[in-house]
């Protein structure tokens, strides 16, 4: 059913694909976790099918903090939507299909860098109590072309911050 929710935009730039996604949230009480797992599997297969044709740059809100360092309070959030073992495994599976998390590729295991802060908790941004759930992924064969991958400071604004990827895609002739 999630296929009908209009969550993916893919552009063909001739030499590469650029795709953007809004990954479904597992929901309150994890009521959509099973559907989310199917989504993760199908989305990974979709990106892999694109990658067979040409390199892929994929970005968006993946609604998962992949590793404990990707959120401020992993122990308090274990089993919450966006930080279940199932969602984290789904993201690992996606990366294992030939994709690089550009931020981790550039910065390694740096901590306390997030892309989202809860709007309901007024001090989440002030205290940097966030989650890294927005990503730029690229086909593994492009990872040596990554120049920069970072979060752009959005000031006091909570919710998502813009993320930046600078990559050298110049085609050699």
Question: Is 22 assigned a catalytic role?
Answer: yes
Closest-CA residue to 135 (of 79, 170, 80, 92) = 92
Alpha carbon of residue 151 to chain centroid: 12
Q: Describe the crossing of helices 33-53 and 85-96 by its angle, rounded to 10 degrees.
A: 10
Closest-CA residue to 45 (of 106, 3, 101) = 3
Beta strand 56-61 with 17-22 is parallel
User: What is the three-class DSSP state of 12?
Assistant: strand
Task: Please tell me which residue in 40, 43, 51, 61 is annotated as part of the active site.
Answer: 61
d(CA 35, CA 136): 23
User: What is the three-class DSSP state of 63?
Assistant: coil
Query: Which residues are identified as catalytic?
Result: 22, 61
């Amino acid at each position: 059913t999630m296929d009908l929710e209009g969550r993916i935009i893919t552009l063909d730039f001739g030499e590469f694909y650029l795709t953007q996604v809004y990954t479904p949230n597992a929901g309150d009480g994890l009521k959509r976790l099973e559907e989310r797992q199917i989504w993760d599997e199908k989305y990974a297969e979709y990106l892999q099918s694109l990658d067979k044709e040409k390199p892929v740059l994929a970005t968006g809100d993946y609604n998962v903090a992949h590793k404990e360092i990707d959120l401020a309070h992993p122990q308090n959030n274990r089993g919450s939507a966006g930080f279940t073992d199932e969602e984290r495994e789904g993201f690992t599976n996606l990366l294992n299909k030939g994709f690089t998390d550009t931020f981790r590729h550039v910065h390694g295991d740096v901590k306390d860098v997030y892309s989202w802060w809860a709007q309901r908790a007024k001090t989440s941004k002030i205290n940097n109590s966030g989650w890294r759930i927005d990503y730029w992924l690229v086909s593994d064969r492009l990872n040596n072309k990554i120049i920069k991958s970072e979060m752009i400071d959005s000031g006091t604004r909570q919710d998502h911050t813009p993320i930046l990827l600078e990559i050298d895609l110049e085609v050699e002739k």
